[in-house]
């Protein structure tokens, strides 16, 4: 990542959080001029400075900061929100996403079509889960009465 790209990323996070350069500088214990120089790619901040900007200024981790991709802004926002949750809730969310992304054992049906899952219950979900994790998937699916 270039210094200019790093500056753009910092500016993006700052504006998304509704912070001014002055407010970010105050939170990260920097001068507003130095924040401006970083955002404009004129200086390359040390890891310590970057950590203060990201952690103290944006209230997120360096991992979330560097995982951000301008093409997948929604995912970056989601990662930031999930990071704030307790570890047990984070694990449950990861498991739910794994279940939803397990395409090998998902059966897709037409919109509004009703199908029976392995338990014999009928579901109006567009995607119905089957396979080894079917009990977990069934708990995720909304049920309708037959």
Report if residue 145 sits inside a domain. no
State pLDDT tens for residues 1-48: 899 999 999 998 899 889 999 999 999 999 999 999 999 999 999 999
Residue 105 has pLDDT above 80, yes or no: no
Residue 84, CB-side half-sphere exposure with 13 Å CA sphere: 8
Domain closes at, from 59, 80, 101: 80
b/e 87-120 (16+ beta carbons within 10 angstroms → b): eeeeeeeeeeeebeeeeeeeeeeeeeeeeebeee
Residue 20 sits in the same domain as residue 73: yes
**Per-residue pLDDT, 143:** 39
Question: Which one, of 80, 70, 85, lies nearest residue 17 by Cα?
Answer: 80
22 compared with 93, residue with greater pLDDT = 22
Residue 131 sits in the same domain as residue 62: no
pTM for this predicted structure: 0.50
**Per-residue pLDDT, 140:** 47
Report if residue 100 sits inside a domain. yes
Residue 60 sits in the same domain as residue 36: yes
How many other CB atoms are there within 10 angstroms of residue 36's CB atom? 16
18 compared with 131, residue with greater pLDDT = 18
């Amino acid at each position: 990542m270039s210094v200019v790209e790093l500056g753009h990323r910092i500016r993006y996070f700052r504006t998304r959080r509704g912070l001014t350069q002055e407010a970010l500088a105050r939170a990260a214990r920097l001068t507003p001029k130095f924040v401006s120089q970083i955002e404009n790619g004129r200086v390359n901040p040390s890891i310590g400075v970057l950590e203060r900007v990201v952690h103290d200024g944006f209230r997120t981790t360096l991992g979330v900061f560097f995982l951000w991709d301008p093409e997948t802004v929604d995912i970056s926002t989601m990662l930031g929100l999930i990071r704030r949750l307790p570890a047990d809730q984070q694990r449950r969310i990861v498991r739910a996403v794994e279940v939803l992304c397990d395409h090998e054992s998902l059966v897709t049906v037409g919109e509004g079509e009703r199908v029976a899952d392995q338990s014999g219950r009928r579901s109006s979900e567009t995607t119905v889960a089957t396979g080894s994790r079917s009990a977990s998937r069934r708990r995720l699916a909304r049920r309708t009465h037959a």
